[in-house]
Amino acid sequence: MAEIIGVRFREVGKIYYFDPEGKKIKKGQKVIVETARGVECGEVMVENRDVAEEEIVRPLKPLIRVATPEDLKILESKTAKEAEAYGIFNAKVAKHKLEMKLINVEYTFDSSKIIFYFIADGRVDFRELVKDLAGVFHTRIELRQVGVRDESRIVGGLGICGRPFCCNTFLGDFQPVSIKMAKEQGLSLNPSKISGTCGRLMCCLKYEQDSYDYLLHVTPFQGSIVRTAEGNGTVVECNVITGMLKVRLEKRPEAAPIIVHRRDVKVIRDAKVSVAKEDIEALKDIE
C-alpha cells in the first residue's frame, strides 16, 4: 500500500496521485507539485489515503508544499496573463493568415511555458507563428491542436437536456460511444437527436448502456422467433424497458400482433441488434 493525495489541475479533468510526504492535506486545499509540464498548482480532490500498489504509477512525484498566500497571488496574476496572451495570439494568427481558432490559453505555474489550445480543419504549418510568439513572450511555446469534443469541454455550454455539458462539469475522461448504443436504446438514428453540440454522439448514451446490455440479454429483440401460449410467432416490436413484446403469430399472420411480456415467451431463435451499413456510413462523422 502507498499513501497518496489526488490532485486536479483543471475544474474538470483527471485526478493525479502524488506523495503527500507525510503531511495531512484536506480536500479543497491548493498545493504546489511537480508534473511532466513543470511546477503546477492544483486542487486536492482526494485526501490522504492508502491505495494498492497496482493503482499507482511509480515513482510518485512528491508534494512540494501547500500553496501559500504568495502562490495564490501568482495564480490570480496567471489568469490575467492568459487573457492578455489570448489577444496577442489572435493578432498573430491574423498576421500570418492561418486558418485556426484559439480555444484556450494556459500558463504553467512557474511561467516556464505557455500552451495554446486551438482547433483547425486539417494540419496547420505554425512554425513561423511559434517563432513570432516566442519573440513576444520569451518563454517556451506549445501549440496543441484539439478536437471538437475537447472544444466543448473547454468552452462549455448547455446540452439539449438544458443542463451544462457533462464534459465541462464532471466527466474526467471521454467514454467511447457508438451508433450501436443508440440503436440498442431504441433511439432514432437522426444525427440531430443523438449528437451533442460538439457534433459527436452524446456522451450520455454511455450512462445507461450497462442496463440496456442486461435488458437486451433477457428481452427478445425485434425479429426473434418466440413461443407463446397461443403458438409460435415473430417479435415485431419490443419495449426493452417494460419487457412488453408485440408478436405476430405464424398461424394468424394477417391478424394484429398479440401483446405479451418477455417472461411469458420462450425464445426459439434470437435476433441480434444490428445497424445497417448505410446508417453507419451516413453517421460515421458523428461517431
Per residue in 76-108, pLDDT (tens digit) is 888 889 999 999 999 999 999 999 999 999 998
pLDDT of residue 172: 77
Pinpoint the residues of the chain covered by CATH 3.30.300.20: 73-146
Q: pLDDT tier at 227 (50, 70, 90 boundaries)? A: very high
Nearest to 4 by CA among 22, 24, 18: 18
pLDDT of residue 27: 92
Q: What is the pTM assigned to this prediction?
A: 0.73
pLDDT of residue 242: 93
CA pair distance 57, 41, nearest whole angstrom: 20
Q: Determine the average pLDDT of the residues in 133-144.
A: 92
CB 175 within 8 A of CB 182: no
pLDDT of residue 246: 96
Q: Is the pLDDT of residue 226 over 90?
A: yes
Please give the backbone phi and psi of residue 219, each rounded to the nearest 5 degrees, phi first: -115, 125
Q: Determine the average pLDDT of the residues in 232-256.
A: 93
Span 13-45, pLDDT tens digits: 788 899 998 889 999 999 999 888 788 899 999
DSSP string, the chain: -EEEEEEESSSSS--EEEB-TT----TT-EEEEEETTEEEEEEEEEEEEEE-GGGS-SSPPBEEEEPPHHHHHHHHHHHHHHHHHHHHHHHHHHHHT---EEEEEEE-TTSSEEEEEEE-SS----HHHHHHHHHHH-SEEEEEE--HHHHHHHH--B-TTSSBPHHHHT-SSPPP--HHHHHHTT----HHHHB-TTSSB-GGGGTTHHHHHHHHHHSPPTT-EEEETTEEEEEEEE-TTT-EEEEEETT-TTSPPEEEEGGG-EEEEPPPP---HHHHHHHGGG-
Q: Determine the average pLDDT of the residues in 143-169.
A: 90
pLDDT of residue 154: 87
Q: Is the pLDDT of residue 258 over 90?
A: yes
Characterize the bridge pairing of strands 266-269 and 225-228: antiparallel
Pinpoint the residues of the chain covered by CATH 2.30.30.30: 222-269
CA pair distance 123, 145, nearest whole angstrom: 9
pLDDT of residue 54: 81
pLDDT of residue 69: 92
CA pair distance 266, 232, nearest whole angstrom: 9
- What's the mean pLDDT when you consider all of the chain? 90
CATH number for the domain formed by residue range(s) 73-146: 3.30.300.20
Q: Which residue has the higher pLDDT, 54 or 45?
A: 45
Q: Determine the average pLDDT of the residues in 200-229.
A: 92
CB 109 within 8 A of CB 75: yes
Fold type of domain 222-269: SH3 type barrels. (2.30.30)
**Percent of the chain surpassing pLDDT 90:** 55
pLDDT of residue 260: 95
